[in-house]
Each structure stands twice: as structure tokens, then as C-alpha cells.
Amino acid sequence: MQKDIPGQNISAPSGVRSYSNTKATLALAKASFRSIMRSPSAVVFTLAFPLIFILVFGFLGGGGTRIDVGVTPGSDVNNPVMGMLEKTGMIRLVKNKSKAEFDKLLEKGNVDAMIDVHRKVNTAAYSVNVVYTSASRDKGGILKSVLNNIFYDKTLKPTVAEIKESTITGREYKTIDFILPGQLGFSLLSTGVFGTAFVFLSLRQTLVIKRFFATPVRRSSIVIGEGMARIGFALIGALFIILIGHFFFGFTLVHGAITVVNMLMLATMGIIVFMGFGFIISGIAKSESMVPPISNIVTLPQFLLSGTFFSIEAFPGWLQPISRALPLTYLNDAMRKVAFEGLGLWDVKFQIMILLLWGIGIYAVAVKVFKWE
Amino acid sequence: METKKAIISVKDLVKKYDDFVAVQGLNFEVYEHEIFGLLGPNGAGKTTTLEIIETLRDKTSGEIIVDGFSVDKHPQDIKQIIGVQLQAAGYYPNLNLIELIELFAGLYGANIKPMEMLEKVNLQDKAKAKYKALSGGQKQRFSIATTLINQPKIIFLDEPTTGLDPQARRNLWDLITEIRDAGTTVVITTHYMDEAEQLCDRVAFVERGQIIALDTPDNLIDKLVNSGFERKKEVKKANLEDVFINLTGQEWRE
């Protein structure tokens, strides 16, 4: 194939070396990586912010408690106990699932407890059977005290109902297990969006790219070299966050190193998609001062609505569809499933597919609006 | 110029922007191993012409051959044999001079020792400095170093001495002359006629996108004198810049 390219033979006599695009790409990646490592804002966005949030939320514990209580299939539903539980506003009853489904949810801590209410034979009293899970010990504890409160209430005398309690063993789901993947996702989002947007805008404005064009380097080498550096930097950041989380805050890594590798692969997909936003912003921003506001339009909603701090289940119903449209939601979701539930990448293919769709859409726009000069 | 072999030939070059003709029918040749000056007021089309030859800008029509390569058909080959210094170009942020030279070596696919490149322009002491921290003259010398990385046959310098003090300017002239003497063709733009007179082997005057004169500085001056032109003030054997250099010394102030 190469022999057919005209001009290649003509260039030989003047002693011109054969040109290596790979070498050029790697030289750019190296330069860019050095530059990023020396840029305070990159380090702050990628590492410091997420770590601060992890610290704060790690010690704060989860606020805005919401307890999911599964209703055992076959349980009586129309009784005063259920009614009062719902009235507390803290407890959400999960119904219409099979026993097998509930068992799985219990083990993961997605349902905090199971409740089974039966009218006692030949009396007006109810028997309330509660199953807690160690995957959600603190919420189980809250439920216990809520139940106790209800039973001391005058309208429900002990004669009406009695509680039988037991606990099954499951994995312990800690606040860090929720917070860390969210922070990781956000770190990737800000590195991808802010970093890429700033770098390409400033390279364009200071004519660095124009000077590159006076060398034989290809445009694709410039984009790929920059991308490699940024992905490398983001992955080092991600690894750092995961390891700090694991060793200092007990972040759960179900399959150890394999889980870390899976998380880093997800991180790579995430950063590539998010860099697309950065390319778009570098194209539409007229000056460096326009980068932060436009970038915030992209990052802030995802920061708040993509389950970075709170489970999107806690959002009002009208907000949830918006949350479910954002790419970070799916990255966070996949990260949590891989890290805590120990799923493989194939198990989160749905989340990956949505990310991929976002990626295609973003890069389709980026190709249109990106400016070299 | 014993051997007048053209290394760049520009024929009927035209560049139109939407409603503005920047270059209208330029014709000229640059000979091997000469310093060729493009002179003219701002907006005359000097930079546009250079950037078209450097393959950085498309032309509207015309033909340009650089060392046997056409800008239309073999821009990549041209990029391999030219070195380009842009007016007001910056460099990759947060890198020191050595690292920047390494980057360009990678972009050109050249095997060079970065320190040797810096020695050529006398910046070895600034190897670990950032580009932004350099003085005006140092910046220009560094830019020239980056144009030499691929051992080019031709280098293009767009207003390299603008904003420099007299010492730095004279020093840059010496550097440019050395580069020419080493066998590299130099194409330069400038606003300073004393500079063109001292430095350039031939100059072309560009005005409104057209060449209005092209010759050696000597011939152009002789022609004007022969036409009966006389300076109002009699020329002395030195000028004020000579006084300045004499009073403040020749060494670089950086």
C-alpha cells in the first residue's frame, strides 16, 4: 500500500528521514503529560477536590436517610403497622418482588430490611416479622427504633402486634462505597471537560498549534497525543483515589485487583466521553474566561444530579428522568456495581452502551465545532 | 550570488479573503544560500505570503515550488525541509527549553541533542528555564533554535527583531548571518530598513499585495540616487544607533 503513495519516493533523495507518526504522537503525549503534572489546576480538580469530598462525606456519614423495606410476598398489606411505617416519611415499602429478588437486594443492602405482617390466628393482634441485613446495619438500626416507637404508640398496643427479629449476613455497605465511585466519576468529568477545553483553547490562541502545523505532524497525532496524556493522568488520579479510599476508608473492592482494573477500564471510557465535551467547549469558547462558565454548564448538573452525592432514587420523581439522561449517572452506576457488587464489565454493558451512545453524540458535535485555528 | 539557483519560486500568487485581496499576483524567486527580505508596511501581505509558502495557509491561485516540491501536491515534504518562526507564536505551556526542543525533535522525527541546539543560539544557561521567563531577545533566539531542529534547507523568520533592543538586534543579525553561511537559505520579514540593508542579500518591497521592487539593497539605493534623489541632511560617518552601541557596549543584555 505504502509504495503507491506519490511523493514518498521523491522525498528520499534529499536525505529526508522516514517520518514516524508514532514518534511524533508519543513526543506530544510526553510533553502534554509533563505539562499537566505541573499545572496546579489539573492536580486540584483531579485529586484534591475528590479527596476533600471523600473526607468530608466519609466522616459525615450519609444524611437524608431513606430506608427501603421489602414487603415479604404473602404478607398482609392492609394493616395499621404498614400504614404507620409509611406515614413516618422515612420508610419506603418495596412491594411486588419475588422472594429470590428480595434475597439478592437484601444481600447487597439495596433493601435495608424485610417485613412480614400476619394476623395472628383467632385474635385481633398482628405478628410482625422483621429481617435485617448486615449489609445495611445502620439503617436496620434506624428501622428498629422506628418500629419500637410505633409499638409504644398508644394506638398500637403490644397486644395488637409483636415483633420477631432476625439478621442475615451480607456485605457491609458503607458510605464510602457510595461516595467514592461518585467522586471518581466527577474527577474524571472535570479533568476531561476543563482540562481538554483549556488546553486546546490556549494552544490555539497562543499559536502553538499553528507552529505544530509547520512541522510534518498530523492533526490526529496532536489529538491522540493530548488524549493519551490526559487519560494517563486521569487514570493515575483514579488509582490514587481508589487506593486511598480502600486503605484509609475501607472502600470495598470485592475482587481486589481485578475490580480495580475493571474500574480503571470504566474510567478510561468515561474520560474519553467527557473529553468530547472539552473539545466542543474549546471550539465554542472565544476566550479563556469563557471556559469556566461553559464548562460548569456541563459539569454542574451532572455533579448534582448524577448520583455523585445522593442516590438518584432520593430525587423527586420529575427530576429522575433528567438524572437518567446524564452520562455521569451511568458511569457512577457502573462503577458502584463493579466495585461493590463485584460485577464484571459485561454485566454493566447497559451502562457502557449508554456511555458509548453519549460518546458518539458528543464526538459528532465535536468534529463540527472544533477549531484548529 | 555566484550560483543563482532558485530554491523557492512563486508564480502569480493570489490570496483572496471574503471581500479583500491580500495578495494579488506575486512573482519572485528566492535563491539558495541567500538572505531574502520581504519588506513592506503592515497589511501589505508579507505574512500571508510567508504562511502560504510554509503550507500553513491555502492560496486562491498561483504556483509555488519549494526545493522541487509543489505546495499543492507535497506539503508534507516541504514541511520536512523548512524551519518556521511565526510572528508572536507561543510554546507549549509549563515546559522548559530542553523539553520544548525534545518535543519539536519528536514532531520533526529528528535525532538531535537538545543541549547542542541551545548552544547554537547561546541559550545553554537557560536550559531549565521556561519560555515565558525569557527576555525578548532570548525568546527570538529560542524560536530560531526550534527552526533549526530538522536541519532545514530554508528557514522563515517573521519579524524576528521587532521589539528588541539594539544589542539584541545586532546579535540576532550575527546569528542569522551564521545560519546563512552554514548553507541555509533565510527568508525574513522586517520593518527596519537598516536591518534589511545590513542583513539581506536581496529584498522585495511588497505593497498592497504586489511586489513593487526587487533587487539587492545596493542596487535599489543606487537606482534611487541615480534618479537624482538626495537626503536633506548630509550623511555622517555614524548614526545615533552607533552612538548608543558605543556608549552602552556590545554585549548582550539578558
Residue A161 sits in a domain whose CATH number is 3.40.190
pLDDT grade for B252, boundaries at 50, 70 and 90: low
Is A242 in the same domain as A114? no
Average pLDDT value for residue range B43-68: 93
Specify whether A320 is located in the same domain as A216: yes
Q: Which residue of B has its CA nearest to A20?
A: B109
Nearest CA to B150 out of A215, A11, A10 is that of A215
Spell out which residues of chain B touch residue A42, defining contact as CB-CB under 8 Å: none
pLDDT at B87: 87
Mean predicted confidence (pLDDT) in B46-64: 94
Residue A217 C-alpha, separation from nearest chain B C-alpha, in angstroms:
6
- Cα–Cα distances in angstroms (integers) from residue B186 to residues B41, B110, B147, B213, in the given order: 20, 20, 11, 19
Q: Do A214 and B86 touch (CB under 8 A)?
A: yes
Q: Is residue A12 assigned to a domain?
A: no
More reliable by pLDDT, A237 or A141: A237
Whether ipTM tops 0.85, in short, is: yes
Non-local (6+) Cβ contacts of B167 within 8 A are: B137, B245, B248, B249, B250, B251, B252, B253
How far A286 CA lies from chain B's nearest CA (Å)?
A: 18
Distance from the Cα of B80 to chain A's closest Cα (Å) equals: 6
Q: Check whether residue A269 and residue A295 sit in a common domain.
A: yes
The CA radius of gyration of chain B, in Å to the nearest whole number, is 19
Q: Distance between alpha carbon A264 and the CA centroid of its chain, in Å?
A: 12
End residue of a domain, out of A135, A168, A201: A168
CB neighbours of B131 closer than 8 A, spacing ≥ 6? Answer: B90, B91, B95, B97, B100, B139, B142
Are B199 and B35 in contact by the 8 Å Cβ rule? The answer is yes
Whose cell is 472544533? That residue is A370
More confident position, B246 or B195: B195
Per-residue pLDDT at A78 exceeds 60: yes
Residue A11 lies in a domain: no
What count of Cα atoms within 13 Å lies in the side-chain half-sphere of residue B68? 10
- With CA atoms as reference, the chain A residue closest to B91 would be A208
Identify the domain boundary among A168, A196, A217.
A168
Rounded distance between C-alpha atoms, residue B200 and residue B191, angstroms = 13
In the predicted structure, residue B172 carries a pLDDT above the cut 70: yes
Distance in angstroms (rounded) separating the CA atoms of residues B16 and B19 = 7
What are phi and psi for residue B28, nearest 5 degrees? Answer: -165, 165
- Indicate if the pLDDT at residue B2 is higher than 70: no
Phi then psi for residue A179, to 5 deg, are -70, -45
At residue A171 the predicted structure's pLDDT band, cuts being 50, 70 and 90, is low
Residues in A closer than 8 angstroms to B56, CB to CB, are 210, 213-214
Which one is predicted more confidently, B231 or A10? Answer: B231
Percent helix, strand, coil in chain A (nearest 5)?
65, 10, 30
Residue type, B163: G
Cell numbers placing B24: 494579488
B93 touches A at CB < 8 Å? yes
Measured distance CA(A88)–CA(A146) in Å, rounded: 8
Mutate to test the interface with A, among B107, B112, B155, B187 (most CBs of A within 10 A): B107
Q: Are residues A180 and A249 in the same domain?
A: yes
Residue A33 to chain B, least CA–CA distance (Å) = 10
> Does B89 sit within 8 Å of A207, measured CB to CB?
yes
Task: Say whether pLDDT at B77 is over 60.
Answer: yes
Residue B111 reports pLDDT greater than 50: yes
* The pLDDT of residue A168: 61
Of A35, A215, A216, the CB nearest to B94: A35
Residue B191 has pLDDT above 70, yes or no: yes
Q: What is the largest CA-CA distance in chain A?
A: 105
Cell 477545553, located at residue: A197
Give the residues across from B6 on adjacent strands.
Answer: B31
Mutate: best of B50, B94, B140, partner A, most A CBs <10 A: B94
By CA distance, what is A19's nearest residue in B?
Answer: B109
In terms of domains, do A161 and A203 share one? no
Mean of all residue pLDDT scores within chain B: 91
Helix crossing, A196-205 with A219-249: angle to 10°? 150
Cell of A59: 466522616
Domain boundary among A131, A148, A168: A168
Range A162-188 average pLDDT: 75
Mean pLDDT of B101-106: 96
Separation in Å, CA of B47 to nearest CA in chain A: 14
Calpha distance A85→A320 (Å, rounded): 24
- At A5 the pLDDT is 41
pLDDT > 90 in chain A, percent: 36
Is 70 exceeded by the pLDDT of residue A63?
A: no
Lowest mean pLDDT of A161-175, B96-110, B186-200, name the range: A161-175
Q: Tell me the C-alpha distance between B31 and B6, whole Å.
A: 4
Residue B61 sits at φ, ψ, to 5 deg, of -160, 175
pLDDT at A295: 92
Enumerate the β-bridge partners of residue A103: none
Is the model more confident about A129 or about A269?
A: A269
Same domain, A255 and A296: yes
Question: Is A17 part of the contact surface with chain B (CB cutoff 8 Å)?
Answer: yes
- Find the closest chain A residue to B109 by CA distance: A19
Same domain, A364 and A295: yes
User: Of the given ranges (A316-325, B57-66, B128-137), which has the lowest mean pLDDT?
Assistant: A316-325
Mean pLDDT in chain A? 82
Q: Is residue A17 part of a domain?
A: no
Least confident of A247-261, B133-147, B208-222: A247-261
Regarding whether A356 and A293 lie in a shared domain, the answer is yes
Q: Give the separation between CA B153 and CA B151, rounded to whole angstroms.
A: 7
In a domain, A343, yes or no: yes
Give the span between the Cα atoms of A352 and B95, in whole angstroms.
Answer: 37
Residue A7 located in a structural domain: no
CB < 8 Å from B in window 195-214 of A: 202-203, 206-208, 210-214
| Residues of chain A with C-beta less than 8 angstroms from the C-beta of B93 | 35, 39, 202, 206
Q: Is residue A153 part of a domain?
A: yes
Record the pTM.
0.77
Query: Do A224 and A242 lie in a common domain?
Result: yes
Same domain, A95 and A191: no
When mean pLDDT is compared across A69-83, A288-302, B140-154, B174-188, the lowest value belongs to A69-83
The per-residue pLDDT for A159 is 53
Rounded CA gap, A47 and A181, in Å? 13
Instruction: Please state whether beta strands A67-71 and A91-94 pair in parallel, antiparallel, or not at all (unpaired).
Output: parallel
Same domain for A239 and A93: no
Total domains, chain A:
2
pLDDT at residue A99, rounded to an integer: 83
- CB contact at 8 A, A352 and A265: no
* SS3 sequence of chain B: CCCCCEEEEEEEEEEEECCEEEEEEEEEEEECCCEEEEECCCCCCHHHHHHHHCCCCCCCEEEEEECCEECCCCHHHHHHHEEEECCCCCCCCCCEHHHHHHHHHHHHCCCCCHHHHHHHCCCHHHCCCEHHHCCHHHHHHHHHHHHCCCCCCEEEEECCCCCCCHHHHHHHHHHHHHHHHCCCEEEEEECCHHHHHHHCCEEEEEECCEEEEEECHHHHHHHHHHCCCCCCCCCCCCCHHHHHHHHHCCCCCC
Q: Minimal Cα distance from B80: which residue of A?
A: A216
Q: Is residue A136 part of a domain?
A: yes
Q: Do A283 and A197 reside in the same domain of the chain?
A: yes
- DSSP conformational letter for A215: S
| CA–CA dist B140, B129 (Å, integer) | 15
pLDDT average, residue stretch A57-69: 65
Q: Which residues of A touch B96 (CB under 8 A)?
A: none
Q: Is B69 on the interface with A (CB under 8 A)?
A: yes
Domain that holds residue A54: 22-59+174-369
pLDDT digits (tens, 9 = 90+) for A339-363: 888 888 888 889 999 999 999 999 9
Is residue A15, in this structure, part of any structural domain at all? no
